[in-house]
Structure 1
């Protein structure tokens, strides 16, 4: 029987993921973000305009003006935070894990060891496909949805990443 050992780890000596040089998303992905946000805003405006048009007798001019101003402010906020969110997203693939950082107000950093990866998929949205971009979806054990989605990667590079991850999964079997 092996001797049990439970030594204390000096956490100051552990490698720091914060020091890893992360790769920013493809610059064309900012266009995808802006277009997606613009489509959402356009649908919002069409919905509000329909409401004002079909129920104009019950809505005062003052309320309609306030609603219009609020819509403009909300639309500008959506575009601003979408672009800011794009700039905060980055990723890195290392020998033993993948790192993905996102978040606007609070920064979220996910580190997924390859030995936890069960499945890898590529997703191309309509607008992303137009720009030649894809999303790498990484699934780990125990989840029905992807644990990490890295958008805004050139399709050829995304396919290479998928092959790399699939190779790492095969080595574990």
Structure 2
């Protein structure tokens, strides 16, 4: 007869491993140029609109000048601070069983993704990454179509090594589960 007694033991929090004890590496410093360029592509149309509205004397309500412009300026300034100050917090690291990534200044985000959950790994290089000869690695788990973790701003060697390591870990895990 099966014992159907549910047991839920208390854990001592001091006995848990510290997930932050990991040797991390920074994203390639060339990647900040891409982030700055993205901000520039957003600022440029707004700047052109403001210049054209002054030059051609568009009949814009006073609310536009007193609310819209300061609000847009504030948002863009905060975004610029996030990019500049948050870039120093973009780190990644690998351990035996998982990959770690952190980013963000105002909203700091740390992601730890176990290898056994990863189903697909992709190394990509879009047009902006190609401009700086950088790559990104996307790690997919079940149910996520956009990727659960994407690390942008890696050189080709690092991205390829991470992909190979993750694939090797997945292979080892699947070999253990079939034994």
Category of TM-score, reference length = shorter chain? 0.7 to 0.9
SS in 2 for 1:166: helix
Which runs of 5 or more residues in structure 1 are unaligned?
Answer: none
Counterparts of 1:42-53 in structure 2, within 5 Å, are 42-50=44-52, 52=53
CA shift in 2, pair 1:59/1:100, >3 Å: same
- With normalisation by structure 1, the TM-score equals 0.82
Whether the 8 Å contact between 1:45 and 1:71 is mirrored in structure 2 is no
Distance 2:21 2:9 in 1: 26
Task: Give the equivalent residue in structure 2 for 1:84.
Answer: 85
- With normalisation by structure 2, the TM-score equals 0.79
CA-atom RMSD in angstroms: 3.0
Task: Give the equivalent residue in structure 2 for 1:126.
Answer: 127
Length, aligned pairs only: 172
Task: Give the equivalent residue in structure 2 for 1:155.
Answer: 156
Counterparts of 1:69-108 in structure 2, within 5 Å, are 72-108=73-109
* 1:106 to partner: Cα distance: 2.9
Aligned match of 1:23 in 18, 22, 25? 25
Which runs of 5 or more residues in structure 2 are unaligned?
Answer: 175-179
CA shift in 2, pair 1:63/1:23, >3 Å: same
* 1:68 to partner: Cα distance: 5.6
> Does residue 168 of the first structure (1) align with residue 169 of the second (2)?
yes
